Amino acid sequence: MSSDSKTGEIRMRGALRDALAEEMRRDENVFIMGEDVGVFQGAFKVTEGLLDEFGERRVRDTPISENTFVGAGVGAAMAGLRPVVELMTVNFSLLALDQIVNHAAAIPYMFNGHVRVPMVIRMPGGGGHQLGPTHSHSFEALYLQVPGLLVACPTTPADAKALLKAAIRDDNPVIFIEHESLYGMKGEVPEGDHILRFGEAAIRREGDDVTIIGILKMAHVAAGAADTLSSEHGIEAEVIDPRTLRPLDLDTILESVRKTNRAVIVEEGWPHGGVGANLSTLITEQAFDYLDAPVQRVTGADVPMPYSKRLEQAAMPHEENVIEAVLAATKGAR
């Protein structure tokens, strides 16, 4: 059904849509709800065409009541359905934080496994579109911190499709974070029913000199930086995309760091208590003896996202920031 498929490559939004449609065809218990997912076809057009195919029972437009429709998703999941709830941006997910943390994440544990919450909560985040301080943030670290949740951060159309299918089939509550800037990205998506298991990182580029870990859009920024480092500085970076933050494939990261002895972590979120802060601690705790330099972090600026294009760009990490961090980490090594 995807209009992109004739090009041989599919955009990220089409891949996500295909995953939703295929899972809904496969399992009658899967349904979608969220603001403007039906008639409007999705704020980012991820749910385009689904209302036509599946009808209003399974593609439900909700009122602007985030805490309540996420909570209703939790209840429906407890009663045996498999809801996929869409939040229009990660910033709006804060309105539903009570249901996500106090209920979705806690219920299976606090009721001792007598009930499960098999639901997916999708939300796009990230900056770059001048949407300012209430529509552009990156809350991976916030959700990563909550035991009971799984956190997915897909970076390619193929991964997005396979991870979303896995998330829908998984019996745990999944926070599925998409990046607004990646929706239009094209990539090959293998045909057929493919699942990407949670907790399996991808090594995007092999190298011996430094390990760069990038999440979401920063996986691509890291890869771009790695190319420049190779051509202009003779530094061969190994680039790792964790793909899921919970569970985290720490082994692949540690294995790489033990080989390269240097690590740089790139994320769009805030520095304090961020994904990089956490990962840097894990690397230091478990691979300290292998490190030849302090772990470097490249993060978004420690400010609410500004609107001005110039300031917004300054608040987001770019390839040159990654290159700088890598040069700092490798200083004196050559």
Footprint on this chain of another protein (rule: CB under 8 A): 31, 57, 60, 62-63, 65, 67-81, 98-99, 102-103, 107-116, 147-148, 150, 166-167, 169-172, 195, 197-199, 246-251, 254, 281-282, 285-286
Residue entry with tokens 């294995």: 255
Cβ-based nearer residue to another protein, 4 or 249: 249
Which is catalytic among the residues 22, 23, 48, 66? 66
- Active-site annotation holds for 135: yes
In angstroms, give the least distance from the CB of 47 to another protein: 18
Q: Say if strands 202-205 and 186-187 run parallel, antiparallel, or are unpaired.
A: unpaired
Strand, coil or helix: what is 246? strand
- In order of 128, 182, 315, 316, the CA distances from 311 in angstroms are 10, 21, 6, 9
In angstroms, give the least distance from the CB of 330 to another protein: 26
Question: Using CB atoms within 10 A of its CB, is residue 52 exposed (0-12), middle (13-18) or buried (19+)?
Answer: exposed
Cβ-based nearer residue to another protein, 115 or 328: 115
Alpha helices (H) along 118-216: 140-144, 157-169
In angstroms, the CA 215 to CA 299 distance is: 11
In angstroms, give the least distance from the CB of 53 to another protein: 17
Cβ-based nearer residue to another protein, 112 or 231: 112
In angstroms, the CA 31 to CA 14 distance is: 18
In angstroms, the CA 280 to CA 275 distance is: 8
Question: Closest Cα to residue 267, out of 326, 194, 216?
Answer: 216
In angstroms, give the least distance from the CB of 271 to another protein: 20
In angstroms, the CA 136 to CA 154 distance is: 17
In angstroms, give the least distance from the CB of 105 to another protein: 9
Cβ-based nearer residue to another protein, 162 or 326: 162
Identify the bridge partners of residue 33 per DSSP, sorted by sequence position.
60, 85
Cβ-based nearer residue to another protein, 57 or 334: 57
Which is catalytic among the residues 135, 137, 179, 220? 135
In angstroms, give the least distance from the CB of 69 to another protein: 7
- Active-site annotation holds for 285: no
Main-chain dihedrals φ then ψ at residue 252, nearest 5 degrees? -60, -40
Cβ-based nearer residue to another protein, 162 or 305: 162
User: How many other C-beta atoms can be found within 10 angstroms of the C-beta atom of residue 284?
Assistant: 14
Residues marked as catalytic:
66, 135
